[in-house]
């Protein structure tokens, strides 16, 4: 399969080649921008692409048109050498950054829910994520820590960073991102309770407006036993204090 086809098919499935390191960090698509551009020309523009690929190519073209207009309005020349390919480049980057619109969290879990008698706490901490704030379309990024108390089901460990990535790869506010992750894990694992903690830097706060470059926003989600059982809540909060830097 060509890199282009793989890019599209992984985009649709919301799948990324990423490392499964214990830090939970994920990598971007392993395709360079020039490779993407070359293969777009060869496969899509010559009409050999599938319908979905053509749709995506049209989206990129449409986006690039508007980005060119933005550059003009700002007062620069989109035809000068350094900016000539920027609209296309930025469009492809945007499609990649917002890949959550092309995938869904159920697809990411892909049935990796297993029976288990384990009744203890499951904690996955310090998972790095990147998102775009929906108010300014500027990045916010940080770490998420998730815990749940299984009833009789557990979720494949590698699925948790993937779930976070799908929800983060959409225009978001941190509050909703936190709730969407929590509600989805609760529904999918049918746990006794779920806790989510997110801590993130917002470039819209650091680069503009108040210019508070070192302010971190923290959000918490609790459901089930994490709401009613103070001891479990305390254990979670202690863990995030240890994990979060």
For Zn ion, the binding residues (CB under 5 A) are 133, 135-136, 204
**Cβ distance to Zn ion smaller for residue 93 or 204:** 204
**Cβ distance to Zn ion smaller for residue 103 or 131:** 131
Best CA proximity match to 245, nearest among 138, 142, 123: 142
Q: Quote the CA–CA distance of 49 and 183 in Å, as a whole number.
A: 37
Distances 5 to 18, 167, 182 between C-alpha atoms, Å: 18, 24, 33
Number of Cβ within 10 Å of residue 74's Cβ equals: 8
Smallest distance, Å, CB 138 to Zn ion? 6
**Cβ distance to Zn ion smaller for residue 60 or 133:** 133
Strand order in the sheet with 122-133: 171-172, 122-133, 139-149, 193-202, 216-222
Smallest distance, Å, CB 140 to Zn ion? 7
C-beta nearest to Zn ion: residue: 204
**Cβ distance to Zn ion smaller for residue 133 or 166:** 133
Distances 177 to 99, 199, 212, 219 between C-alpha atoms, Å: 15, 11, 22, 9
Smallest distance, Å, CB 162 to Zn ion? 25
Smallest distance, Å, CB 179 to Zn ion? 18
Distances 95 to 28, 65, 98, 131 between C-alpha atoms, Å: 12, 14, 5, 12
Smallest distance, Å, CB 217 to Zn ion? 10
**Cβ distance to Zn ion smaller for residue 24 or 100:** 100
DSSP secondary-structure letter at 102?
Answer: G
**Cβ distance to Zn ion smaller for residue 45 or 137:** 137
Smallest distance, Å, CB 73 to Zn ion? 21
């Amino acid at each position: 399969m060509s890199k282009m086809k793989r890019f599209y098919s992984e985009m649709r499935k919301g799948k990324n080649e990423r490392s499964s390191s214990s830090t939970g960090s994920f990598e971007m698509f392993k395709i360079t921008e020039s490779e993407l551009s070359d293969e777009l020309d060869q496969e899509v523009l010559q009409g050999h692409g599938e319908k979905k690929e053509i749709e995506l190519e049209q989206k990129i073209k449409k986006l690039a048109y508007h980005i060119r207009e933005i550059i003009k309005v700002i007062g620069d020349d989109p035809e000068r050498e350094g900016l000539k390919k920027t609209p296309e480049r930025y469009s492809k980057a945007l499609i990649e950054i917002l890949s959550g619109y092309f995938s869904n969290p159920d697809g990411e879990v892909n049935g990796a829910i297993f029976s288990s008698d384990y009744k203890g706490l499951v904690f996955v901490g310090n998972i790095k994520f990147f998102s775009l704030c929906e108010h300014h379309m500027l990045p916010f990024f940080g770490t998420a820590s998730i815990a749940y108390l299984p009833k009789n089901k557990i979720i494949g460990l590698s699925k948790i960073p993937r779930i976070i990535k799908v929800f983060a790869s959409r225009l978001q506010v941190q509050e909703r991102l936190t709730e969407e992750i929590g509600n989805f894990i609760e529904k999918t694992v049918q746990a006794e309770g779920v806790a989510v903690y997110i801590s993130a830097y917002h470039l819209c706060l650091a680069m503009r407006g108040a210019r508070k470059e070192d302010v971190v926003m923290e959000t918490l989600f609790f459901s089930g036993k994490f709401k009613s059982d103070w001891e479990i809540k305390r254990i979670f909060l202690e863990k995030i204090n240890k994990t979060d830097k």
